[in-house]
Structure 1
Amino acid sequence: MELAQMIKSRRSIKRFEDREVSTALISELLDTAVWAPNHHLTQPWRFILFNGEGREKFANAVKEWKMAKETNPAKKEEEGNKLYQKLMSNPAFLLVVMKENSNLAQREEDAAAISCLIQNFSLLAWEQNIGMTWHTQGWLQEQMVREAIGVKPGERIVANIHLGYPEMIPKAQPRTPAAELLTIIESK
């Protein structure tokens, strides 16, 4: 598929087949995705992959946080289990973690580079018939969850990518043509 067509055909996938994506394939896609533009070549990223039975570690960490947060004792277990089941319906979770540079300008450039890396990964995965959705749930910043999944102080989770083989591919949503958003200045 040509790049322009791939960009236009890619979708955010929320429902996946009950089929594992190989860790080796995910690693191979990441090896290419890291060729994203990156000012000063800081390479501020690292990845945490929860795949196969490893998904349980991630889902349990979030479940425990949900249960600790729930104020109604009668709902604690129910709410925790509901979130656990929802998470376990995803074949894999890939966390993209950024080292937070103390220099604000560099941190902004690093965040932009990571966004480019995620787009690269998304297109590479789509080329392999793997779909994904980029999530930034608030609980990813909760200390209890961060510690349980191995996120260190001074790091920020930029993305919680749910990925797998699509069960259903949604229809394209319309985009505003760039021409409607473009200001052209061709003279002084």
Structure 2
Amino acid sequence: MSSVVNKSQLAKLIRERRSLKKNYKPDPVPKELVFELLNDAVWAPNHGNREPWRFVFIPAETKEAFIEQLLTVFPKDQQENRRQYFRQPAAILVVIMANDPRQKQWEENFGAVSSMIQNFQLLAWERQLGVVWKTNPHIYEPKTREILGVEAGEKIAGFLHMGFFDSDHIPKTKERTPVEEKMTIYE
């Protein structure tokens, strides 16, 4: 496999970004920073410029109240575990997408939302804000939808857990399979 010696800054950022699941600093994530990052992230490609996303931001100052409400979704014997789980990130950004009943449009919307989330993660990483995209079963629960005001025709694409990080706690690189091993050349 040949490797390019001089990687662009963007290529380096793509390769260095990690999903940060724990070891967040306790520093709050300012809503102004989230707005700034999202205002760039939404430049993701999206068919027909449908912009099939909207967001619910749970900052540090309201996170405990949100967690207590969200715990009602879980069985009593899981609530303490889930309380500790949701307390780990400094803030949570919920991404909600348009849930089009037409398969082509749904797939286009999900592709756009996924691209936007990747943009957000890259932009956040650049600012030492770690993000992990969570799609745990609670996002499909009607009670979660109710708590977040998710309407008919929408779905929760995921919870983005986030918080600032120290470079001492960056997860190790997990190598990728070289694309040459996954490529077929049509002849």
TM value normalised by structure 2: 0.89
Aligned-partner Cα distance in 1 for 2:137–2:178: 32
* Corresponding residue pairs, total: 177
Residue pairs, 1:1-188, within 5 angstroms: 2-15=9-22, 16-66=24-74, 70=75, 76=76, 79-167=78-166, 168-185=169-186, 187=187
Could you list the runs of 5+ residues in structure 1 that have no partner in the other structure? 71-75
Moved more, 44-53 or 57-66: 57-66
> Which SS does the other structure have where 1:145 is aligned?
helix
How far off its partner does 1:140 sit? Answer: 1.0
> Which SS does the other structure have where 1:14 is aligned?
coil
Partners of 1:57 and 1:149 within 8 A in 2? no
TM value normalised by structure 1: 0.89
Which whole-Å deviations, capped at 9, do the CAs of 1:108-156 have from their partners, x for residues lacking one? 1010000000000010001111111110011111111211122122211
Alignment identity in percent? 38
Moved over 2 A (4+): none
Partners of 1:18 and 1:91 within 8 A in 2? yes
